């Protein structure tokens, strides 16, 4: 069934991992010159990235960011502390700095990956595949 789609699941994964528009592949998810501002719509194809009636949609990206921060950064710090490879002060400083810095650095990827996860399961919702964006 996915072979009839103009944008395949493989395309969606590649675009999601490279922070691109899931519909057209343009580097347009984020406003130019900013780190954290997401475009409401893709300037290249008009795809609605932020929809007013889907206010809670990106809570999932926040959860994804939290989980990756916990699993990929804070857990290794805790294990190093537990094994006594690092001292208490070092562990606290690494954890505090990492708990603030890592999520900020991972913000763009988590937003893009969350869109990617949605459209992997619902590629028919992409306008390029004949859909109207996320089902409302």
pLDDT tens column, 61-112: 999 999 999 999 999 999 999 999 999 999 999 999 999 999 999 999 999 9
Nearest to residue 115, comparing CAs of 134, 136, 131? 134
Can you give the pLDDT at residue 9?
97
Structural domain boundaries of the chain? 2-129
Average pLDDT over residues 49-61: 81
Q: Are 136 and 53 in contact (CB under 8 A)?
A: yes
Q: Is the pLDDT of residue 122 over 70?
A: yes
The predicted pLDDT at position 2 comes to: 45
CA–CA separation, 106 and 46 (whole Å): 25
Mean pLDDT, residues 26-38: 92
């Amino acid at each position: 069934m996915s072979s009839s789609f103009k944008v395949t699941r493989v395309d969606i994964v590649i675009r999601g991992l490279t922070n691109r528009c899931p519909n057209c592949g343009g580097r347009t998810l984020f406003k130019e010159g900013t780190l954290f501002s997401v475009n409401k719509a893709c300037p290249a194809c008009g795809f609605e990235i932020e929809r007013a009636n889907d206010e809670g949609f990106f809570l999932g990206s926040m959860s994804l960011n939290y989980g990756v921060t916990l699993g990929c950064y804070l857990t290794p710090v805790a294990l190093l502390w537990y094994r006594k490879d690092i001292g208490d002060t070092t562990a606290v400083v690494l954890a505090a700095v990492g708990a603030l810095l890592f999520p900020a650095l991972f913000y763009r990827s988590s937003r893009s990956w969350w869109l990617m996860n949605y459209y992997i399961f619902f590629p028919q919702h992409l306008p390029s595949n004949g859909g109207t964006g996320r089902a409302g």
